[in-house]
């Protein structure tokens, strides 16, 4: 089950709810990714000072510093500005996805997620992120 692609991943999961954190961690770990966890935005930012993950899987509603704020902080920091950030949220009402994408997330996965589609969605997000980044680099060139 361990794929080459996923085994190269270093994933930062920012999630305040321990069970949800545990599920995501277990699944990603199962597929070979290295997982770093943070219980809120502040912790997440602390980790980002030391480690540069492949992408960040981020809950939105959290104490201290929520996902929206942490995203701003990540984007504000040149060192982390280009990191792919994927929202993993139970905010699944109509319009939520739009808000999430407009805020600058690179992906939107709703809870409860299904194992069958979870990894595919992450990969799709990373691919579209890569395409976007490439386009931007090309434009800069």
Candidate residues 72, 75, 99, 111; the one interacting with other proteins per rule CB under 8 A: 111
Is 7 an interacting residue with respect to other proteins (CB under 8 A)?
no
Which pairing describes strands 107-110 and 85-89: parallel, antiparallel, or unpaired? parallel
Is 93 an interacting residue with respect to other proteins (CB under 8 A)?
yes
Residue 89 or 129 having the CB closest to other proteins: 89
Is 76 an interacting residue with respect to other proteins (CB under 8 A)?
no
Per-residue HEC secondary structure of the chain comes to CCCHHHHCCEEEEECCCHHHHHHHHHHHHHCCCEEEEECCHHHHHHHHHHCCCCEEEECCCCCCCCHHHHHHHHHHCCCCCCCCEEEEECCCCCCHHHHHHHHCCCEEEECCCCHHHHHHHHHHHHHHHHHHHHHHHHHHC
Candidate residues 102, 112, 139, 140; the one interacting with other proteins per rule CB under 8 A: 112
Pairwise CA distance, residues 72 & 32, whole Å: 29
Residue 30 or 134 having the CB closest to other proteins: 30
Candidate residues 72, 75, 91, 99; the one interacting with other proteins per rule CB under 8 A: 91
Smallest gap from residue 23 Cβ to other proteins (A)? 3
# of chain residues touching other proteins (CB under 8 A)? 23
Pairwise CA distance, residues 96 & 100, whole Å: 6
Is 114 an interacting residue with respect to other proteins (CB under 8 A)?
yes
Candidate residues 11, 12, 13, 23; the one interacting with other proteins per rule CB under 8 A: 23
- Residues near other proteins (CB under 8 A): 17, 19-20, 22-24, 26-27, 30, 61, 89-95, 110-115
């Amino acid at each position: 089950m361990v794929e080459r692609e996923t085994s190269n991943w270093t994933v930062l999961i920012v999630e305040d709810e321990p069970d949800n954190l545990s599920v995501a961690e277990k699944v990603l770990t199962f597929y070979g990714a290295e997982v770093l966890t943070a219980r809120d935005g502040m912790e997440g930012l602390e980790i980002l000072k030391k480690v540069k993950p492949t992408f960040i899987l981020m809950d939105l509603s959290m104490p201290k510093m929520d996902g929206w704020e942490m995203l701003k902080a990540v984007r504000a920091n040149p060192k982390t500005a280009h990191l792919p950030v994927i929202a993993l949220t139970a905010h699944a009402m109509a319009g939520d996805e739009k808000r999430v994408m407009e805020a600058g997330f690179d992906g939107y996965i709703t809870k409860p997620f299904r194992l069958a589609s979870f990894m595919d969605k992450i990969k799709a997000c990373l691919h579209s992120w890569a395409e976007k980044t490439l386009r931007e680099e090309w434009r800069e060139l």
